Homo-oligomer: A and B are copies of this chain.
């Protein structure tokens, strides 16, 4: 059982419902859509991400002999026979990764036989929720510091290995420069960045010796961590070392600050480096950073060239979850609506239309029914998979990243700020509202007939 691709990445009820669907012959086409109910505090928009991982999951969804053996201890033989043959042969429609989106807009639609469409629910949410969460968080730092080197430093406090890897991917897609997480290099072809740890300095009897050893080992790419003992004293040691290393044609590419008042230290260190002739040696900062601290450092004109952002990014610390749902919108050709208090859904298969202002910025979205409900504007939902087969070649992450950066250029200025922007207008089409009302009336009528 591969824990990252197993079809047992599901809630138990998906299997108990599957059993019942099979026994009832309820294998008609179901349509589920995934959407976010509301923006978390501190977000003006969301960035769709994770579709590639969803498509890979669906393409490769098979039950292994070990998984079937385990299931056979809990489910009857007809269920196991069905699962032996199981593959996902439904359709996927979705917003491309990197699309800016808002609450109540579906970002993914699954159209498949009911047992299939239900079985994939939890893993699809799990993937799209997390990557969208991280891309949406990362976008804020990218918009705050568009000209700085931004590196994902979050692996150690990410929630497990997959979170670390997907956070590296989602943040790069959202415009980060790269990650420190090595495995994200071969897996996703993301640029890697790294410096040195305090332990390296501590393991040496002398800080200057540690700096020299590291520089001679990595002559092309030396970034020295200078806050282990006294930051400014260490900066002077870097200047002295640079003179010594010049004879060997080694230059010190940068220094890293990781504690204390970063703005003050950065200014002091910049002056020491400049006075020592190291104008090209960059200053990189880390240590519990997020977009708010970036903003404060940039406002204070701290001379910092790059930032390592860790915990706050990889767990989206100010909003570590999105209120999202994967809901049945149609079954056997009939639209469906959930009425639960505070959690009602918009029924039917939907499309999102987006119009732009004269300034090129996004102006308004309409959520409409896919059929017979045309609206002006760009359509955001596109066919991605048909009968279990991808419709497009895999897009490189760099291409997705470029497109995401282009999408940011269509954001109104207020939405790129850290402060709350005016609510972006997303309206529900008249036909969709009418359909919802009609389903509510039918439901009341049906209950009356039953009661009568």
Contacts and interface: CB of A to CB of B under 8 A. Distances in A.
Contacts of A14: 182, 194, 197
A196 B18 CA distance: 10
B182 A15 contact: yes
Interface in A75-129: 114, 118, 121-123, 125-127, 129
Given A156-B125, A158-B126, A163-B160, A228 B339 contact: yes
A162 B162 CA distance: 6
Interface string A420-452: 000000000000000000000001001100100
A15 B199 CA distance: 13
A331 B203 contact: yes
A60 B389 CA distance: 36
Nearest to A131: B160
B192 A12 contact: yes
A20 B158 contact: no
A35 interface: no
Contact of A183 (B9, B233, B258, B317): B9
Contacts of A10: 155, 181-183
Interface in A11-43: 11-17, 19-21, 23-24, 26, 30, 32
Contact of A12 (B163, B193, B258): B193
A414 B187 CA distance: 48
Given A26-B203, A321-B315, A164 B126 contact: yes
B156 A229 contact: no
A165 B122 CA distance: 13
B13 A194 contact: yes
A328 B202 contact: yes
B3 A162 contact: yes
Interface string A216-230: 011001000001111
A203 B203 CA distance: 64
A394 interface: no
Contact of A315 (B227, B315, B338): B315
A218 to B, nearest CB: 6
A6 interface: yes
A130 interface: yes
A6 B192 CA distance: 17
Interface in A393-427: none
A345 to B, nearest CB: 9
A340 B228 contact: yes
| Cβ-closest 5 pairs across A and B | A12-B194, A160-B162, A159-B159, A199-B328, A159-B163
Given A159-B162, A159-B163, 10 more contacts: A11-B155, A11-B180, A19-B218, A67-B186, A121-B197, A126-B157, A129-B157, A130-B159, A227-B340, A227-B341
